[in-house]
A and B are shown apart, each in its own frame.
Chain A
């Protein structure tokens, strides 16, 4: 394998690894469940993309045929990541898990829990 290809593959592996690490750091550091959701859904998509591109390059070279079934992993990730994030957010809302105190518009969270329109609970409150 030529040096330049090794270099490119290593760069992609490193970039991917760094983003996966950042995603995990985010999961540990962020203060409440709603903000924690952001780290694994975002940082990992690029992290995995880096690893998959590296894998595509390496195995396309090694087997001297185009290896693109890694694209399927990316496709399934794009389908499942938002859905699982959405389900976790919903569960958190219904369990009334407290959001960080300085979270803005917490009344919207209450409306979302009951699946109401956002202005409905406010009007009730005023009456």
Chain B
């Protein structure tokens, strides 16, 4: 995506905000000197790196993105309990398996986000993406109902991501 004109001094506005916040977090302070330094860094670094930016779709629905992040965090907490129980429980009962999920999402950013979410949530780790970027291969720790797992990944994670990114 081409940088919109008029953003010459802030070629990557989101990254600028992120850099600013991360710098202050890292120093764990709100001192004036550090705010000034953070401002300088968050303006110059994106300005130097703008040329390296790869095209990706803009976030269309920021509020949905926030809700999605909260949902994922909740799922991570439940995932931890589920996996912890399975790890302590009898090994012979485990039925691991691979599944392939057809991707409706097409942008690189979307696939990356979906794959990362899948890796962080209940009993699944994404292993590979097919070369045409149409299939995501996932390893499940305990696979009982293949179709149900595929549907839940598509409904719960892919649909909101599609809405957030638009493609």
Measured CB to CB, the residues of A under 8 A from B are: 19, 22-23, 25-26, 29-32, 34-35, 37-39, 41-43, 45-47, 67-69, 71-72, 78-79, 81-83, 85-86, 89-90, 93, 99-100, 102-106, 108-109, 111-113, 115-118
The stretch of B45-53, B55-63, B117-125 in contact with A is B117-125
Question: Could you tell me if A39 and B83 are in contact, using CB atoms closer than 8 angstroms?
Answer: yes
Residues facing A in B115-155 (CB within 8 A) are 115-120, 123, 125-132, 134-135, 137, 139, 141, 143, 146
Question: Could you tell me if A37 and B95 are in contact, using CB atoms closer than 8 angstroms?
Answer: no
Other-chain contact of B87, A30, A68, A69 (Cβ < 8 Å): A30
Question: Could you tell me if A112 and B137 are in contact, using CB atoms closer than 8 angstroms?
Answer: yes
Within the complex, the shortest CB–CB distance from A35 to chain B, in Å, comes to 5
Within the complex, the shortest CB–CB distance from A12 to chain B, in Å, comes to 13
Question: Could you tell me if B137 and A108 are in contact, using CB atoms closer than 8 angstroms?
Answer: yes
Within the complex, the shortest CB–CB distance from B114 to chain A, in Å, comes to 10
Residues facing A in B78-102 (CB within 8 A) are 79-80, 83-84, 87-88, 91, 94-100
Measured CB to CB, the residues of B under 8 A from A are: 22, 25-28, 76-77, 79-80, 83-84, 87-88, 91, 94-100, 115-120, 123, 125-132, 134-135, 137, 139, 141, 143, 146
Within the complex, the shortest CB–CB distance from B98 to chain A, in Å, comes to 4
Question: Could you tell me if B83 and A42 are in contact, using CB atoms closer than 8 angstroms?
Answer: yes
Other-chain contact of A115, B88, B119, B131 (Cβ < 8 Å): B131
